Structure 1
Amino acid sequence: MSWRKYLGPGPLVAAAFVGPGTVTVCTLAGVNFGYELLWALALSIVATSVLQEMAARIGLITQQGLASVITFTLSKGLLRYFSLGIILFAIVLGNAAYEAGNISGGAMGMELFLTLPLLNFGQIQINLLNMSIGLIALSLLLWGNFQKITQVLTALVIMMSLAFLFTAIIMMPEIGKVAAGFVPRIDQSNIFSIVALIGTTVVPYNLFLHSSLISQKWQAVSDLKYIRVDTLVSVILGGLVSMAIVITAAGSDALSVSNAADLAKGLEMGVGVYAKYLIAFGLFAAGITSAITAPLAGSLVVCDIFGWPKSIQGKYMRGGILLILGLGLVFSSLGIKPVQLISAAQIANGILLPILSAYILWLVNKKSIMKNSVNNLSMNIIGGLIWLITFILGSWTVFRIFN
């Protein structure tokens, strides 16, 4: 049996949630709390695996994306328009705002290898590194196909994983201290970091992306075993990358660290120049992979909601990709800081995540849709606990923004 049967859109899921934001959050968690928050990442891996499997199962059985299923089942009424409005706002506008961070994060990693001049046109300043990363992502999305994009992202995710994992090994952490980090500890000082670590892993747009891409690879119910392996391996790999970043940051001697680029510079003095370049490459790979997946996911959601064709070379998909990536490129390359836009997107995502996870739980128990692939009791219990986590996470996100 060929191993290729097990390779689906899972690497795109890993590429999407291990972005510059995740790298930064994990770096700060390691610097501020050492190894003690590794348990939060382990919890987020479980939550992400369960939700992604459910979303993928819905995509397999219905052969539609999650947004299409929502549009079909909520055929009328206020709930339909509220749900679709939140989805469009959070996924499309939110992804455009986050795209700026993806591009800027990738450029931050590249700056440790090379420096390109800033172009000034009056009050406008263009960052050529940001522009280059945006154009690389755009060219792959516009002139590639799902198979080629998956292959490129798989290669990048593997290289990114090796870069961060190898750096963590170089730090030679004490196994006992690392193991102690998997014992839950919650207090007032670390609660915000715990929620941030979970929030960077359980990503709403990943659920839409995964369910939409499933039918590109698998169609039969018997393929569910391949989907589960693809999903579990990819999410665990992404989680291990996040843990490696925490371990590296916890063991560093950097005096002042506010992001992964600072960590890379700090490692150069204590461990050597190779560690610096490994972290720099990892940050670059995290940025460019997320810069590819964010506009792809946003465009798929738009096409699902309006019933448009989802061919990546079709005009509707290309239009959505150009809009999302173009806005992100403008925000990042021209030095615009879309703080209010990102804040609004976070509020929408905070509302969307518990609603979406509840809707997924309802759908996977709906026999008219899922046939014999409905949830069993144990999956419903686990799913209910995960919904509670997403509710707390979403409530905290909204509370944090308004305060």
Structure 2
Amino acid sequence: MAGMADAGTNDKSGPRKSSWRYIGPGIVVAATGVGAGDLVATLIAGSKYGYTLMWAAVIGCIVKIALAEASGRWHLATGRTLFEGWHSLGPWTTWYFSVYVVVWGFIYGATAMSSSALPLAALFPDGPDLKVWAIGTGLIGLVFVWFNQYAVFEKVMTAMVGVMFVVVVYVAIRVSPDLGAAFAGLAPVLPDGSLLYTLGLIGGVGGTITMAAYGYWVNAKGWTNSAWMKVMRVDNRVAYITTGIFVVAMLIVGAELLHASQIALSSGDKGLVDLGQVLESRYGEATAKLFLIGFFATSFSSLIGVWHGVSLLFADFAERVQKDRRGVSAKQGSAEEVAAGVKERSVPFRVYLLWLTFPPMALLWLDQPFGLVIAYGVLGAFFMPFLAATLLWLLNSSRTPAEWRNGILSNVMLTVSGLLFVILCIQQVRELPW
């Protein structure tokens, strides 16, 4: 994997043939998209319904493959970034994104730091306070992303995916899965009361705004034109097959370790600390500590993935706003700027890094302000329908070269995913503490 980040960077014509050695952005999006909260949601689904919802996890991966492929295809086919595409649809996209990225980043920063701190506090119970661990992980993420560009970032993310993969699969094997029941779970069945868990498995695991960042990571890898399309598609499938393995493994753990014993977990990321305690009582301290290391890799990879990927999105957004103010028309070439690392060295990129790190630290001491929680919930719920709808619009219009516009399958998948996310959006808004 060490040579991946450089494999295509200097070859603008594209690869001579598709090769597994080029894979990289998909690993990054898999590591970023699967956070501790996603694993808890999957665990709880397994603990409540056993293997019955296995089919939902598989469908969720297929939906995410379609969305991420569409994002990457836009970048490669047009030579323009996704935010440039959004901007071409009208000023409403700029207004929506500007509010979303500020509020979302403020809340997510605190969430990511807390999630990364939990396993460290569990691993070192005599160590610093949880808030100290949280601040430390945020600062480490800031320094790492500030001083390293994509090539190093990808290598570190790959290592963390390796840790996540080994730990989660090991635990799934350790609990002795019932393979017959697992395969039976591939048949679509909806037990009573399972609709929301099913929708959550299909739509909630594997990334939200990080799916929009996928195209930027594709460009940062050095893939900037349609000659890289086949490689991108292989890379994208690897991302969500990897995600699928994580989800299936955690469903197995929930089904075998928790469902039969009727053990309940705490909601949120603390559920993984609970699971560590269950593993220690069943399989010993070594297994529990290994799991907590995997928990940390899962959380911290999401932290630095967002610190890098969403900062790229913000830098592109800020650049477009500045051009609008100067009356400069949109031009192609942003993909090359991302590939050259220009945006990673830009002032807006680093300003958003600081925004993700320092203001959210205040939330580690304070309860989240009521109005901010509502704004975060509403904006977050609307993002995935926004992404699906705008990709449908962009990839069926003259903005995309005819050769790379959506076919029937892409349109069906994006439409289905958009409708799914609308249902999830409505439910999330209904559940907010109004």
Q: Distance in 2 between matches of 1:70 and 1:40?
A: 30
> Which residue is equivalent to 1:257?
265
**What amino acid maps onto 1:312 in structure 2?**
E
Q: Distance in 2 between matches of 1:220 and 1:338?
A: 44
Q: What are the equivalent positions in structure 2 for 1:3-402 lying under 5 Å apart? A: 5-71=21-87, 73-75=88-90, 80-81=91-92, 83-115=93-125, 117=127, 127-201=131-205, 203-216=207-220, 217-252=222-257, 255-258=263-266, 259-307=271-319, 311-332=343-364, 334=365, 336-337=367-368, 340-401=371-432
> Which residue is equivalent to 2:324?
none
Deviation at 1:361, TM superposition (A): 1.1
Q: Give unpaired runs (5+ residues) of structure 1.
A: 120-125
Aligned length: 390
Indicate conservation of the 8 Å contact 1:94/1:341, yes or no.
Answer: no
Q: Go from structure 1 to structure 2 and tell me whether the alpha carbon gap of 1:368 and 1:257 turns closer, same or farther (over 3 Å shift).
A: closer
Deviation at 1:47, TM superposition (A): 0.5
Deviation at 1:244, TM superposition (A): 0.9
Residues 125-156 of structure 1: CA deviation (Å, up to 9, x unaligned) = x7221122112211111111111111101110
Residues 144-191 of structure 1: CA deviation (Å, up to 9, x unaligned) = 111111110111012111110111011111111111222222255212
* Most deviating of 10-19 and 182-191: 182-191
Residues 271-325 of structure 1: CA deviation (Å, up to 9, x unaligned) = 2323312321121111111111223233222222232675212222111111112
**What amino acid maps onto 2:165 in structure 1?**
S
* Most deviating of 40-49 and 362-371: 362-371
Q: Distance in 2 between matches of 1:166 and 1:335?
A: 38
SS, match of residue 208 in structure 1: helix
Deviation at 1:99, TM superposition (A): 2.6
Q: Distance in 1 between matches of 2:304 and 2:392?
A: 29
Indicate conservation of the 8 Å contact 1:141/1:292, yes or no.
Answer: yes
Deviation at 1:237, TM superposition (A): 0.3
Indicate conservation of the 8 Å contact 1:97/1:327, yes or no.
Answer: no
Q: Distance in 2 between matches of 1:314 and 1:303?
A: 7
SS, match of residue 251 in structure 1: helix
Q: Distance in 2 between matches of 1:367 and 1:86?
A: 24
* Most deviating of 149-158 and 200-209: 200-209
Deviation at 1:220, TM superposition (A): 2.8
Deviation at 1:106, TM superposition (A): 1.8
Q: Distance in 1 between matches of 2:235 and 2:417?
A: 21
Deviation at 1:327, TM superposition (A): 2.9
**What amino acid maps onto 2:405 in structure 1?**
V
Residues 1-39 of structure 1: CA deviation (Å, up to 9, x unaligned) = 795752232122112211121122112212222222222
Q: Distance in 2 between matches of 1:339 and 1:35?
A: 37
Deviation at 1:201, TM superposition (A): 2.3
Q: Go from structure 1 to structure 2 and tell me whether the alpha carbon gap of 1:368 and 1:23 turns closer, same or farther (over 3 Å shift).
A: closer
Q: Distance in 1 between matches of 2:230 and 2:250?
A: 31
Q: Distance in 1 between matches of 2:206 and 2:42?
A: 14
SS, match of residue 173 in structure 1: coil
Indicate conservation of the 8 Å contact 1:27/1:249, yes or no.
Answer: yes
